């Protein structure tokens, strides 16, 4: 039996109990305010110390805290979460009580947690028959993933997937040189999934652990790969409505068995709409890498993309400028797409330019052939640029954690 004030709904909709409503909807009478009244903001700041179980992100930045107040010595905190794991609300309640107990002015602590059950697990079209109905959804599938970074851009066609793919391969090489392993690449771009093609995995299907209803990622070039594109067949509707995208993304994130990873690179869909926001809020992102081209116009769009991460408290690691220049036969650099866009975007977002990737026909050819240039020609100047970018990203992550 769940505690009386926890509400499980099978539809996935979150229900606020009358109890919660009574606690928080009632306006405060002036007489009820005491000298100890801490503003909701103060309390929320404290709650930033509570991590969501299995994740490195806190419950406030996840947007799970619905209300927080301290009135006449009673701290009241209301959360809304989505999980199938009964341990999660228990753990959260314990952590919040432990955090607030003994704080000046706190005599009593009341934690209300409304729990919505996640929707049914996503089943890949080809293997749906092997998954038993009603199998439990997994708890925290990303709990053994140490770092998650998003590769993002305000618009498509800037080479975001090319950067994500080569960055993942470059990270695998840099980590291997340090005797470490564990790189994953998650492609969330359902509108133009190109990652499987670029990684030489076109036409392959991920495995399915029927018991747990978990998808097992494919692997190429020492990188574990999972793409929403791998789940789409000719019969799957090409046109996804907004809410479908959002719930498909949520299910996708919850149902991939990544195992232990040092770093997971996420290729986000281009833009700053619902799908991007859902991802930025659902994934416990440690940082975002913004990809832009050198053009003025691209700078504006890239900056808008970066601003979205600021809004959801995801740190921006830096900017990668792609298609920076082209070297002609004589070795002269030609700025085909203008100059300075990467540096300007970085400046506007208050971050650094972490790398510049020139335009090389070999980069495109590597993508088309399913052998990223970093793997196919590790000594190529383009590969060296990607390896430098990987090192800069790792350095930025380390300095952010220090």
Ligand X SMILES: Nc1ncnc2c1ncn2[C@@H]1O[C@H](COP(=O)(O)OP(=O)(O)O)[C@@H](O)[C@H]1O
Site for ligand X, rule CB under 6 A: 153, 156-162, 194, 270, 322-323, 357, 359-360, 363-364, 367
Helix (H) or strand (E) holding 164: helix 160-177
At its nearest, how many Å lie between ligand X and the CB of residue 391? 18
Residue 359 touches which of ligand X, Mg ion, none (CB < 5 to 8 A by kind)? ligand X
Burial of 122 (0-12, 13-18, 19+ CB in 10 A): buried
Contact between 322 and Mg ion per CB under 5 A: no
String of contacts with Mg ion for each residue 331-370, x by CB under 5 A: ----------------------------------------
Alpha-carbon gap, residue 302 to 335, rounded angstroms: 19
At its nearest, how many Å lie between ligand X and the CB of residue 365? 8
Q: Residue written as tokens 């107040």?
A: 69
Strand partners for 291: 320
* Nearer CB in complex with ligand X: 95/321: 321
**Which is nearest to 173 in space by CA: 184, 183, 159?**
183
Contact between 286 and Mg ion per CB under 5 A: no
Among all residues, whose Cβ is closest to ligand X?
159
| First-to-final CA distance of the chain | 42
Please, are residues 159 and 372 in contact by the beta-carbon 8 Å criterion?
no
At its nearest, how many Å lie between ligand X and the CB of residue 267? 7
Q: Residue written as tokens 């291997």?
A: 176
Which one-letter DSSP state was computed for residue 268? P
At its nearest, how many Å lie between Mg ion and the CB of residue 165? 9
At its nearest, how many Å lie between ligand X and the CB of residue 191? 9
Contact between 293 and Mg ion per CB under 5 A: no
The CA-CA-CA angle for residues 369, 375, 378, to 5°, reads 125
Contact between 166 and Mg ion per CB under 5 A: no
At its nearest, how many Å lie between ligand X and the CB of residue 372? 10
Contact between 161 and Mg ion per CB under 5 A: yes
Which one-letter DSSP state was computed for residue 315? P
Q: Residue written as tokens 């009964």?
A: 86
At its nearest, how many Å lie between ligand X and the CB of residue 174? 19
How far are the Cα atoms of 81, 110, 159, 206, 301 from residue 229, in angstroms, in the given order? 28, 44, 18, 11, 25
* Nearer CB in complex with ligand X: 164/264: 164
* Nearer CB in complex with Mg ion: 185/214: 185
* Nearer CB in complex with ligand X: 208/288: 288
Question: Judged by CB under 5 A, which stretch of 16-24, 102-110, 185-193, 286-294 contacts Mg ion?
Answer: 185-193
Contact between 227 and Mg ion per CB under 5 A: no
The residue count of the chain comes to 402
Q: Which residues bind Mg ion (CB under 5 A)?
A: 161, 189
């Amino acid at each position: 039996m769940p505690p009386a004030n926890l509400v499980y709904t099978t539809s996935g909709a979150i229900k606020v109990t009358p109890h919660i409503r009574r606690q928080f909807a009632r306006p405060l009478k002036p007489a009820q305010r005491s000298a100890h009244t801490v503003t909701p903001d103060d309390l929320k700041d404290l709650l930033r110390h509570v991590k969501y179980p299995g994740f490195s992100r806190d419950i406030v930045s996840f947007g799970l805290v619905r209300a927080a107040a301290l009135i006449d010595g009673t701290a009241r905190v209301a959360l809304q979460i989505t999980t199938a794991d009964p341990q999660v609300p228990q753990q959260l309640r314990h952590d919040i009580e432990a955090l607030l107990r003994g704080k000046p002015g706190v005599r009593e602590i009341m934690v209300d947690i409304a729990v919505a059950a996640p929707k049914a697990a996503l089943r890949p079209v080809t293997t749906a028959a092997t998954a038993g109905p009603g199998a439990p959804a997994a708890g925290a599938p990303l709990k053994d993933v140490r770092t998650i970074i998003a590769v993002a851009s305000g618009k498509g066609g800037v080479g975001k997937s090319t950067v994500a793919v080569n960055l993942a391969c470059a990270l695998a090489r840099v980590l291997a040189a340090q005797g470490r392993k564990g790189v994953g690449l998650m492609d969330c771009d359902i509108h133009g999934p190109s990652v499987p093609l670029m990684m030489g995995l076109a036409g392959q299907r991920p495995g399915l652990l029927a018991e747990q209803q978990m998808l097992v990622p494919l692997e190429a070039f020492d990188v574990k790969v999972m793409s929403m594109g791998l789940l789409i067949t000719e019969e799957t509707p090409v046109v996804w409505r907004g809410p479908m995208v959002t719930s498909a993304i949520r299910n996708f994130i919850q149902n991939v068995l990544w195992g232990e990873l040092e770093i997971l690179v996420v290729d986000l869909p281009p833009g700053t709409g619902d799908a991007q926001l859902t991802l930025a809020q659902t994934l416990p992102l440690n940082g975002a890498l913004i990809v832009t081209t050198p053009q003025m116009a691209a700078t504006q769009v890239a900056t808008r993309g970066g601003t979205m991460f600021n809004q959801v408290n995801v740190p921006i690691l830096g900017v990668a400028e792609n298609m920076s220049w082209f070297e002609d036969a004589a070795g002269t650099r030609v700025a085909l797409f203008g100059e300075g866009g990467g540096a300007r975007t970085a400046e506007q977002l208050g971050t650094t330019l972490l790398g510049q990737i020139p335009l090389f026909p070999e980069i495109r050819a590597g993508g088309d052939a399913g052998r990223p240039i970093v793997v196919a020609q590790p000594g190529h100047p383009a590969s060296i640029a990607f390896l430098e970018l990987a090192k800069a990203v790792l350095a930025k992550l380390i300095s952010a954690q220090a």
